[in-house]
Structure 1
Amino acid sequence: MTTLVVCIDRGGTFPPDTSLPVAGYDAVEALVTEVGLADPEDSRVNTMLEGLRVTNDLEADGDDAIVTVVGDRGDGVSADRSVARQVDELVEVHDPDSAVVVVDSAEDERLVPIIESRLRVDAVDRVVVRQARDIESTYYLLKQFLADEELRKTVLVPLGIALIALPLLLLVTSPTFAVGAIAAAVGAFLIYKGLGIDEYLSRLPGEIQAALYSGRVSLVTYVVAAGLALVGVFVGALGVRSTGDQSAFIHAMRFAFDGVPWFTAAALAAATGRLIDELMQRDSIRSAYVNLPFGTIAVGLVVRGFSEYFLERAGAIGQFQIGPATIGPVLIEAVTLERGPRLAVFILGGILVSLIGVRFAAYFSQSSVQDEFVD
């Protein structure tokens, strides 16, 4: 198999005694030495050296490679026709089966179709000088970017929509609001793509279908958890609304105080469904799934205790009282539990529930409690 390694140089300045095309390893090596001695910074030196390297690689693979240099000192149509005649001459003399084209600029790459119309081109080798890589490769990067459909959709489409929407918004609102709205929309889109939400949403119907066909209990419990979480958000918002004119911290504590029981119930429902699925699908169950419901309850107790403590300190809620109660002839008076001891009860309760979860996990996984703490 004969391969023609074609180094293209359109519009270059060759030595006066150079007769194009130049063919053969020794002839090209002599030409690159002559051109390099005359101007070591000439990019054609890199092109011809790359052609010699490609020739060596092809011959090492067992191909019959012939390195050549084609080009013209002029530019425009006359230079392109000169290159075409040189390629015709090389094809007639060497009768190659294919070609490998070596270029060093976008201008030279425009001549690749001329070679393709006469000979099969197996590869195009683009030589980029390392010292000027950012400048020389800009064209290729832009070309690859425009050829990638996914990148165009991700970058060009949002940018185009933003540029169209900006003047329309400026006609109906203030510049500050228009710029802020555009920036928020672009930021939301970048987060949407960056977190892979689009990929997750594309997989979601298939996962739901697989869950329905496989009879997973977690699918139902996830729906229940979502409903409980929405109730928690609604109850928390009502609590914030009833708090009145308070600081943002107090509002956040009131939201947590009212919503955390519902959020805990939602997390407990989801964790329980996942645990049931593991019990149905596996002979042995991992300790993490057993410990998760207990951990959820423990976190809920601690968050509830701290939020109640801060709200009581700020006067947003009253003191906690037990009673009064009547048991037969016995009358039990109301007992007020101070906020400090009550917070300690919540913290200790959370720790106790967490330890119980660790013990249950150790029992189901047939390991020791020490091993669970190490894991």
Structure 2
Amino acid sequence: MRILIICIDRDNDLGEKAGVVSPVIGRAANLDAAIKLACADPEDSDINTIFGGINVYDKLTAEKNDVEIVSIAGDKKVGMPADKRITEQFDRILEQLKPDRAILVSDGAEDESVMPIIQSRIKVDSVRRIIVKQHENLESTYYIIKEAFNDPKISRTFFMPIGLASVIYAISLYFNRPEVAIMSILGAIGVYMLFRATGLEDSFTDFKTSMMSSLQTGKITFVMYLAAIILSLIGTVQGGVELWNYYNQEIMAGYLILLMAYINTSIWWYVLSGMLISSGKIMDMRLANENIGKQWAHPFFILAGGILFWSGSTYILVISEAMNRYPLIGNGYQFIVSTVAVAVIIGTVGAWLSIRTPGGSILKN
């Protein structure tokens, strides 16, 4: 039964620093490779990995075991290029040496990340981690921190709030207003947490993915997306200006009134943005001869929702005396009832169209 001792150098220090081509097979060849790497960089931890593998080799050989040692190097870019190169070399080694079991020798968590590759091809009896005693867990800690920075989910969850707080604090110091730093930081992080907790981040990611897909495939939706972004920005700015105007008025402008002022001013920009995106999707599906189905209802539902938000915010602003009068109709009850009725009719028409034309048959006829 042949035992294969595998020394892993995932970032290819053997090749980059010592000029050694992997795989390195045999005790003598590995000893020579370790000496070359030690001469090139005495502080490299992969030196200890190879010597550790040789130590295991000597012990097993003394026990009359059939043992072979091999060093496999990946790529300096690490990640997928390194794993692919390690896989290719390991497959050739298995075909050449035909071992039955393996012992993995590494210098930390980064090299051990290739464990699934090895275990999928041969049974691993043991994992030997070689770490300099004066620096125990140093490389593992470094690897964990590096992976955390590279992982988009972790970086967005933990590092983005820290970076946001640092930027806000730096700006407040620049303008000699450190007293507003805590309030601004808490507000910004609070908005970010709400953004994550309510799932808006996933919606934003889906929107970005759809936009890039429409650009790459040459769809009309891409132009509609751009127009929707511009209109949404205009609505946001206009709503913010109106909110600020209400805040500076001599009326009792509570948080609800400020929110209603923002909605009342900006809602139609958002409605127009949503209708543009929905219309663009319908046009693309129509040109591709796809089943439009319930997509017909989306523009109608967006318009109906906009009417409801606009009428509701208008009613609250008028009864709180933040707005002078109702548009269109002077009576408040008539205004709210009529607008709700119009919204319901529009929504019903959209639902009827989506049911009557599951494949766009009305347009075809």
Which whole-Å CA distance do the structure 1 matches of 2:172 and 2:242 have between them?
39
In 2: Cα distance, 1:283 partner to 1:167 partner:
52
Q: CA deviation at 1:248?
A: 2.1
Aligned AA for 1:351? V
Counterpart of 1:342 (choices 317, 328, 335) is 335
Structure 2, unaligned stretches of length 5 or more? Answer: 6-50, 70-100, 109-121, 129-136, 361-365
The letter of the residue matching 2:150 is E
* Structure 2 residue corresponding to 1:309, chosen from 305, 309, 315: 315
Q: Which amino acid aligns with 2:216?
A: A
In the TM superposition, residue 225 of structure 1 has moved relative to its aligned partner by 1.9
Distance change (3 Å), C-alpha of 1:363 and 1:337: same
Q: Report Cα offsets for 1:90-136 as digits up to 9, x if no partner.
A: 41533324664499xx9xxxxxxxxxxxxxx9847359xxxxxxxxx
Q: Which of 195, 210, 215 is the matching residue for 2:216?
A: 210
CA distance in 2, matches of 1:264, 1:303: 10
Structure 1 unaligned spans of 5+:
6-80, 107-120, 128-137, 323-335, 368-375
The correspondence for 1:96, drawn from 46, 67, 84, is 67
TM-score (ref. length: structure 2): 0.51
Pairing 1:131-280 to 2, within 5 Å after superposition: 142=141, 145-146=144-145, 148=147, 150-151=150-151, 154=155, 195=201, 207=213, 209-211=215-217, 214=218, 216-243=219-246, 244-245=249-250, 246-280=253-287
Q: Which moved more, 1:226-235 or 1:265-274?
A: 226-235
Checking the alignment, whether the CA contact within 8 Å between 2:291 and 2:358 is kept in structure 1 is yes
Question: Counterpart of 2:3 in 1: which secondary structure?
Answer: strand
Residues 20-169 of structure 1 aligned to structure 2 (within 5 Å):
88=58, 90-91=60-61, 93-97=64-68, 100-101=102-103, 123=124, 125=126, 142=141, 145-146=144-145, 148=147, 150-151=150-151, 154=155
- What amino acid does structure 2 have at the position aligned with 1:237? G
Distance 1:86 1:237 in 2: 69
Q: Secondary structure at the match of 1:96?
A: strand
1:262 Cα deviation (Å)?
2.1
CA contact (8 A) 1:294 1:356 kept: yes
Q: Which has the higher Rg, Structure 1 or Structure 2? A: 1
CA contact (8 A) 1:145 1:151 kept: no
> How many Å separate the matches in 2 of 1:163 and 1:354?
43
- Compare 302-311 and 173-182 and name the one that shifted more: 173-182
Paired position in structure 1 for 2:301: 295
Distance between the aligned counterparts of 1:162 and 1:273, measured in 2? 35
Cα RMSD (Å) of the superposition?
5.2
1:356 equivalent among 338, 346, 349: 349
1:2 equivalent to 2:9? Answer no
Residue 364 of structure 1: how far off its partner (Å): 1.0
Q: Does the residue aligned with 2:67 lie in a helix, a strand or coil?
A: coil
Matched with 2:96 is none
Residue type of the partner of 1:239? E
Residue 336 of structure 2 aligns with an amino acid whose one-letter code is L
The size of the alignment, in residue pairs, is 252
- Which whole-Å CA distance do the structure 1 matches of 2:168 and 2:308 have between them? 48
| 1:136-172 deviation line (CA, Å, top 9, x unaligned) | xx89974752573725994998799799999989997
Output the amino acid matched with 1:207.
S
Q: CA deviation at 1:296?
A: 0.6
| Secondary structure of the structure 1 residue equivalent to 2:221 | helix
State the AA in 2 paired with 1:298. A
Give me the TM-score of the superposition, normalised by structure 1: 0.50
TM-superposed CA distance for 1:239, in Å, is 2.9
Instruction: Determine what percentage of the aligned residue pairs are the same residue.
Output: 14
